[in-house]
Amino acid sequence: MKKGLSIVINIVLFAIIVLLAVQVVKSIQAPIKFNHEQKAREAKVVDRLIDIRNAEVLYKNATNKYTNNFDSLIKFCQTAEIPIVKIVPDPTDTTFTRTINDTIGFVKVMDSIRGGRDNFNINDMKWVPFSQPQQQYELEAGTIQRNGIEIPVFEARTPYEVYLANPGAAFSDKEWKQRVNNAKAEKESINRYAGLKVGSMEEATTDGNWEKL
């Protein structure tokens, strides 16, 4: 074999090896990058779901029911107040064993939910982060029966397809969509909701599915 041809063959083989190595590295890094992007987005989605849960619990405390209407929930947060209660000894109790709840003031529901966040906007509560076009969380409310008793329940949720609709910077549209479909199929294979949700229309719970491992 001529020396020149041998050099060309070696160069081609080296290029093929480099290309294969790059593909192997990409195949290893792709799921890591996807998981990182998914977790970063879900942290924001969960923050809003926690705000919805806090608002719904306060709404129920005031009205004895949950609401499936974001406008009603947001208006409640903007206008309603909750008492600040201090537990003190019952002044009529000579045994000093009983206590009473003493209301020492009131705080707006919105301020309670804000929790010191300067950039908090109650009107954003209904919108799913990273959804394009912007979409609301799905919100349901109603009652279930347990031992003949009507128990109020609610559920707020959003699927992968909403907050993972747009690809991360390191992915093509096709690659990203395949990753999302894989994640969805994995959840559905174990009968889990492919997305994030808080509360339940079937159980008397206010837990989020990210809290149930």
10-residue mean pLDDT profile of the chain (213 residues): values are 61 61 56 91 96 96 96 95 72 66 72 85 95 96 94 98 90 91 94 96 95 73
CB atoms inside a 10 Å sphere around CB 188: 11
**Model pTM score:** 0.80
Structural contact between residues 101 and 87, judged by C-beta atoms closer than 8 angstroms: yes
Give the contacts of 66 (CB within 8 A, at least 6 positions apart): 56, 59, 60, 141, 142, 152, 153, 154, 199
What are the structural domain ranges in the chain? 33-79+115-211
Instruction: Compute the residue count for the chain.
Output: 213
pLDDT given for residue 201 in this prediction? 97
Q: Measured in whole angstroms, how far is the alpha carbon of residue 89 from the centre of its chain? A: 41
Structural contact between residues 183 and 37, judged by C-beta atoms closer than 8 angstroms: no
HSE value, Cβ hemisphere, 13 Å, CA-based, for 160:
22
Whole-angstrom distance, CA of residue 210 vs CA of residue 179: 20
Q: Nearest-CA neighbor of 55 among 211, 198, 164, 177? A: 198
Q: Nearest-CA neighbor of 111 among 123, 122, 125, 126? A: 122
